[in-house]
């Protein structure tokens, strides 16, 4: 049997007045550790709030672990842990009270919630600070206690909204280590919503890219790096004429900072033939030609560019 989807959206749209945060979004996330990528305003936080039942969609539907988000929000919250991007603390509470309250709010008995609270606070590294007021915590400690409250009821799915926001390099590595351990060693699916691409590279096996409320790309990290087919080229001669000859063959090209030219052949074309013909036409000498190994940043930028080209076609 096919595994149940962790999260699904079907023709999902959300408007705030004239602003369209999500636009006819359809996607399916099966599970594992998945990065939800997009610039600020791409619709990531809106999607998370809809699937948790915190806000209603304008149209379309969403489900989490087979449960309809509009009709089963309480059941979803019992199976899902949510770490919001912003502050979510109650003034005057210490970490034990705050985290155990989060467990009680999803239906855990008081004793079970308290036992789990001590376990997860030790797990995230706050065991010795558990009775301190959260208001006295550093930024890194506050992020850890938010992670702990999302984990206290041992959810099947964790939704993490910018979990490394505001952290220094050491705090960021500690948070990513926790996310890696949960997703790879605890049997919990993770959806990591962020605009920090190295975080996704560090912990995720799949990425979903949103752009202005639409799906710009989705796939396993390894497959995303396999395509689209691209080459890195160095030429001696008129680089502008070479790029113009590439354009005439419907090949995308981009000038990189180190002087290389990234070339993406036209759809359906394989091999280097259009590059060689463009070089001959432009009377340039090829000094270097190799299959490119794009970074996630470059793949992200390429997905956005293709999405926007499709939107204007």
- Co-location of 179 and 195 in the same domain: yes
CB 41 within 8 A of CB 56: no
Q: Which residue has the higher pLDDT, 296 or 106?
A: 106
- Co-location of 165 and 31 in the same domain: yes
- Co-location of 197 and 114 in the same domain: yes
Residue 98 within any structural domain of the chain: yes
Q: What is the per-residue pLDDT across 242-272, written as a single tens digit (0 to 9) for each?
A: 999 999 988 889 888 788 998 888 765 667 8
Sign of CA dihedral 34, 37, 41, 42: negative
Whole-number pLDDT of residue 58: 96
- Check pLDDT > 50 for residue 313: no
pLDDT band at 312 (very low <50, low <70, confident <90, very high): very low
What's the CATH number where 68 sits? 3.40.50.300
- Check pLDDT > 50 for residue 1: no
Q: What is the per-residue pLDDT across 19-37, written as a single tens digit (0 to 9) for each?
A: 999 999 999 998 899 999 9
Q: Domain span at residue 72?
A: 7-221
Whole-number pLDDT of residue 15: 95
Residue 311 within any structural domain of the chain: no
Number of domains, the chain:
2
Q: Please provide the distance, in angstroms rounded to a whole number, between the alpha carbons at the two ends of the chain.
A: 39
- Co-location of 108 and 171 in the same domain: yes
> pTM for this structure?
0.76
- Output the average pLDDT for the chain: 89
Residue 170 within any structural domain of the chain: yes
- Co-location of 149 and 274 in the same domain: no
At which of 192, 221, 250 does a domain end? 221
- Check pLDDT > 70 for residue 310: no
Residues in Cβ contact with 110 at an 8 Å cutoff, skipping those fewer than 6 apart: 100, 104
What's the CATH number where 258 sits? 3.30.70.100
- Co-location of 82 and 109 in the same domain: yes
Residue 74 within any structural domain of the chain: yes
119 class by beta-carbon count within 10 Å (0-12 exposed, 13-18 middle, 19+ buried): middle
Q: What is the per-residue pLDDT across 49-60, written as a single tens digit (0 to 9) for each?
A: 999 999 999 999
- Co-location of 215 and 270 in the same domain: no
Residue 313 within any structural domain of the chain: no
Q: What is the per-residue pLDDT across 162-195, written as a single tens digit (0 to 9) for each?
A: 999 889 989 999 999 999 999 988 889 999 998 8
Instruction: Compute and round to an integer the Cα radius of gyration of the chain.
Output: 23
Whole-number pLDDT of residue 198: 85
Q: How many residues does the chain have?
A: 313
Residue 78, SS3 per DSSP? helix
At which of 221, 254, 270 does a domain end? 221
Whole-number pLDDT of residue 72: 93
At what angle are helices 139-151 and 110-123 packed, to 10 degrees? 140
- Co-location of 190 and 242 in the same domain: no
Whole-number pLDDT of residue 76: 94
- Co-location of 197 and 239 in the same domain: no
Residue 80 within any structural domain of the chain: yes
Q: Which residue has the higher pLDDT, 6 or 295?
A: 6
Q: What is the per-residue pLDDT across 81-101, written as a single tens digit (0 to 9) for each?
A: 999 988 888 899 999 999 999
Q: What is the per-residue pLDDT across 107-144, written as a single tens digit (0 to 9) for each?
A: 999 999 999 999 999 999 999 999 999 999 999 999 99
Residue 129 within any structural domain of the chain: yes
């Amino acid at each position: 049997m096919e595994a149940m989807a962790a999260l699904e959206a079907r023709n999902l749209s959300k408007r705030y007045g004239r602003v369209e945060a999500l636009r006819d979004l359809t996607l399916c996330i099966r599970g594992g550790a998945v990065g939800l990528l997009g610039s600020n305003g791409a619709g990531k936080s809106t999607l998370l709030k809809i699937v948790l039942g915190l806000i209603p969609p304008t149209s379309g539907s969403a489900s989490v672990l087979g449960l309809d988000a509009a009709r089963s929000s309480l059941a979803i919250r019992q199976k899902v842990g949510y770490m919001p991007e912003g502050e979510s603390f109650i003034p005057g509470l210490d970490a034990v009270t705050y985290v155990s309250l989060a467990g009680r709010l999803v239906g855990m008995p008081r004793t079970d919630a308290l036992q789990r609270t001590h376990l997860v606070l030790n797990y995230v590294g706050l065991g010795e600070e558990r009775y301190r007021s959260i208001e006295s915590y550093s930024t890194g400690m506050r992020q850890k206690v938010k992670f702990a409250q999302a984990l206290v009821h041992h959810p099947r799915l964790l939704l993490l909204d910018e979990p490394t926001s505001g952290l220094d390099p050491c705090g960021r590595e500690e948070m990513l280590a926790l996310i890696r351990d949960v997703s790879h060693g605890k049997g919990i699916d993770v959806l990591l919503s962020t605009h920090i691409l190295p975080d996704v590279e560090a912990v995720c096996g799949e990425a979903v890219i949103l752009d202005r409320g639409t799906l710009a790309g989705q796939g396993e990290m390894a497959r995303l790096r396999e395509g689209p087919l691209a080459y890195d080229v160095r030429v001696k001669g008129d680089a502008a004429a070479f790029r113009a000859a590439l354009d005439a063959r419907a090949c995308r090209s981009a000038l990189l900072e180190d002087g290389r030219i990234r070339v993406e052949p036209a759809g359906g074309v394989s091999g280097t033939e259009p590059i060689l013909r463009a070089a001959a036409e432009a009377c340039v000498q090829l000094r270097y030609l190799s299959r490119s190994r794009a970074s996630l940043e470059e793949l992200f930028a390429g997905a956005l560019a293709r999405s926007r080209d499709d939107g204007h076609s």
